[in-house]
Amino acid sequence: MPIKQKKVPMRMCVGCREMKPKKELIRVVRSPEGEVTIDPVGKKPGRGAYVCRSGNCLARAIKQKQLERQLETSLGPDTAQALQDTLQQLLREEAAGANE
């Protein structure tokens, strides 16, 4: 009997609209209280949207209001900037971890 291939969960990036494996994307979540944050683990409760691990996709998703549409909330400039800062920090940490 052939070994069954495990199905890879796919998600669409709200910035570039490309389908990618879930593990390659970063989840942005709106908590039940309405707070919008980046969820690096992907386990926080709330409504989620996915973006590529690049600042460009996040910036495009914010600019075109795709993130607001997906999360069903409005993002203020402070929240948008906080999301971009958090993403940059995450990417720096991943790059540092990969270089060790």
Structure confidence at residue 1 as a pLDDT band (50, 70, 90): low
Rounded Cα gap, residues 84 and 53, in angstroms: 11
Give me the half-sphere count of Cα atoms (radius 13 Å) on the Cβ side of residue 63.
Answer: 8
Tell me which of 2 and 68 has the higher pLDDT: 68
Q: Which pTM value belongs to this model?
A: 0.86
4 against 84, higher pLDDT: 84
Cα distances from 18 to residues 36, 45, 51, 99, in angstroms, run: 22, 24, 9, 28
Closest CA to 72 of 31, 44, 17: 31
CA 98 to chain centre: 20
Spatial separation of the C-alpha atoms in residues 55 and 33, rounded to whole Å: 26
Class of 11-99 in CATH? alpha beta
More confident residue, 33 or 94: 33
